[in-house]
A and B are shown apart, each in its own frame.
Chain A
């Protein structure tokens, strides 16, 4: 039944009352979605992740309404001082900016303000446009540097049961302002759910954002996130993603380097096992001169894990002196694991430096021999090598307390190597 998922227009009215303009926008987008349905492998952007098949195999239904209202108790991180935003099943639940000047920060529930009707490549974006009912908007004023990190607790509760969530978030950072975000996904749900998020991140001139996201608790969640990042001149965005854990996780990141001298960095490390499926898809649009982009994505695949990296670098004719780098590396620990990679360059400027590379292979036997000759058994040697391979990414996080926290959390997510 879910193979031909169609959503009735009445679902829009169930979300709430909308202006005529917004209603039309939602209806149009639902039409776009219903026309195509869930994307399958015939769609080039989904050729390695046949979502239609994955959903129909794992879900009997996809409910928009969440039944149940059990509260979840969990503890805030004690390892370092931080501000926080708490999101429960996509809903903005509470905020705390105790370390900051309150007037510099605005946080509110966010739905949408931009009702431009445009056909998107990704049907899940249409679905989100049509049905989004939760999310937040964080607005940081000009010339303000956050004193402490902002932790976003993204909690999924036991109330979820074959639900689909459509969440929209937006972060806007004003000129010369700086923010560090640490987003952590906490999953308490025991049942399958699908989380479809649409994020917008806007960095004004000379704004700086460091964004670390970890989603590595084993989870019955199916995640899809489309994040559109926009950088004006001299802005800098540094993203770290650690997305191991969910059964399905597709992270689709678009970076638009619109202002000259802007820079974006993406570092990724994941350990994918069982029969988890994870795709990282990036598109970097170099739209102005003198911009820099850097991507390094590492994956370790075990059991029947499947990992995908699709990365495209687009350089517009005026984007001279572009410096773009992309590297994906994978280690396969089991014969049944799989890694697919599709790097692409599309360049219209002539004075640019662009490089991309992709490697994959099994773990190096000489390295195992070396470590074992120093007294470690095979399992310990593999664990150390895998850790080292992924740790290189974590090592680039400058904050000691945050790096240590992530290292511990990350290592606790290694499961299947125990079998070796």
Chain B
């Protein structure tokens, strides 16, 4: 699904990623843990296609080189990033936006666009499943949302767009236990053989609810250690200092 080799990323002449490798197969869930400033968010940005970085190394998704593919096309091809800080978009109705977004992705996949009625049906089912108050959908996109509501909205979008590679960028930060469970449920109920997940997090907390197949430690722009869930548990006890 995702093949990253010797990935380097530089912004404002500062090298953040310094030769990162990661290989994710369909159906796998990987967690990347790391201290502040280790390059976690940069990795999420680079994978989603955010501009402004100088990139070198190999970056392949489903066997296709991602280098020349812009953000929107990556999204249409099935890469989804749940943002650490989802942006507030004033004046844009959440539900209308979700419909526009879904239909862009469906069109790119060669599927029929959904009309308003079918879309509303779909969104109703998913909101209910995630325990999301439908009134949120008639509000302006992320405007005045609490931290928890913003993250739930990200998971809702993930469910609606049905992507293949899902990257969660510190989705657990600043969440209370209920919102954390919503996020975890959303991820767990989406897991199947065709989807892959990359969960980027600072704490082990989320991994109590989402069981990763692999855990990697990112420090100073590189993966310094890989292992199983036990690695995460060990990190929680010893902290990052022991490793980096």
Contact = CB atoms under 8 A, between A and B. Distances in A.
- Whether A and B are associated in the same complex: the answer reads yes
Contacts of A47: none
A375 B87 contact: no
Contacts of B196: none
B208 to A, nearest CB: 28
Contact of A377 (B72, B141, B157): B72
Interface string B93-119: 000010011001100100000000000
Interface in A352-406: 364, 366-367, 369-378, 380-381, 384-385, 387-392, 395
> How big is the A interface, by class?
20 to 34
Contacts of B83: 370, 373
Contacts of B166: none
A372 B75 contact: yes
Contact of B87 (A367, A377, A380, A395): A367
Interface in B36-91: 48-51, 70-72, 74-76, 80-81, 83, 86-87, 89-91
A390 B92 CA distance: 10
B161 interface: yes
Interface string B175-192: 000000000000000000
A374 B108 CA distance: 12
A392 B104 contact: no
Contacts of A377: 70, 72
B72 A388 contact: no
A375 B91 contact: no
Given A369-B50, A369-B71, A374 B101 contact: yes
A367 B83 CA distance: 12
15 contacts: A369-B51, A369-B87, A371-B89, A373-B80, A374-B157, A374-B161, A375-B101, A375-B105, A375-B108, A375-B161, A387-B91, A388-B90, A388-B91, A390-B91, A395-B91
A392 B91 contact: yes
A100 B121 CA distance: 43
Interface of B: 48-51, 70-72, 74-76, 80-81, 83, 86-87, 89-92, 97, 100-101, 104-105, 108, 140-141, 157, 161
Contacts of A380: 100, 104
B71 A373 contact: yes
Nearest to A371: B89
Nearest to B142: A370
Contact of A392 (B49, B72, B90, B157): B90
B132 to A, nearest CB: 17
Contacts of B49: 372-373
Contacts of B71: 369, 372-373
Interface string A79-110: 00000000000000000000000000000000
